[in-house]
Amino acid sequence: MSFLALPPEVNSARMFSGIGSGPMLSAAAAWDGLAFELASAAAAFGSVTSGLANESWQGPAAAAMAGAAVPYAGDSGFLAFGLGNSGLLTPGAGTRAC
């Protein structure tokens, strides 16, 4: 669709008679839910890996696992924070902060 091909009055009428903000708000709510789930998964992953490394699993293999797991948990938390912000940037959509 090219806005330049139609007169401004037609483009304006199409914008005001469109489907509204419902789909955008639904998408923002879905991103918000995904952010919440990812934050929960990152917290659970961090808890399990730290519990393994600090309590029941010792030695070089545990240190290697912890070294590999820490960036994954951090990246997951960072991604969850970013996704949560994308929902919050849509007025009236995001309600949770991760």
In DSSP notation, 34-95 reads HHHHHHHHHHHHHHHHHHIIIII--SHHHHHHHHHHHHHHHHHHHHHHHHHHHHHTSTTT--
Domain interval for residue 48: 38-91
Mean of pLDDT values over 16-44: 85
Residue 56 forms part of a structural domain:
yes
* Block residue for tokens 């008679």: 17
Does residue 96 register a pLDDT over 80? Answer: no
Does residue 47 register a pLDDT over 90? Answer: no
What is the total count of domains within the chain? 1
Residue 11 forms part of a structural domain:
no
> Given pLDDT bands bounded at 50, 70 and 90, which one contains residue 98?
very low
Would the pTM of this model clear 0.75, i.e. be above it? no
Q: What pLDDT, in 10s, does the model give residues 61-76?
A: 888 888 888 888 888 8
Residue 23 forms part of a structural domain:
no
Residue 32 forms part of a structural domain:
no
Residue 34 token pair: 């995904």
Please, what is the Cα angle at 46 between 45 and 49, to 5 degrees? 85
Residue 2 forms part of a structural domain:
no
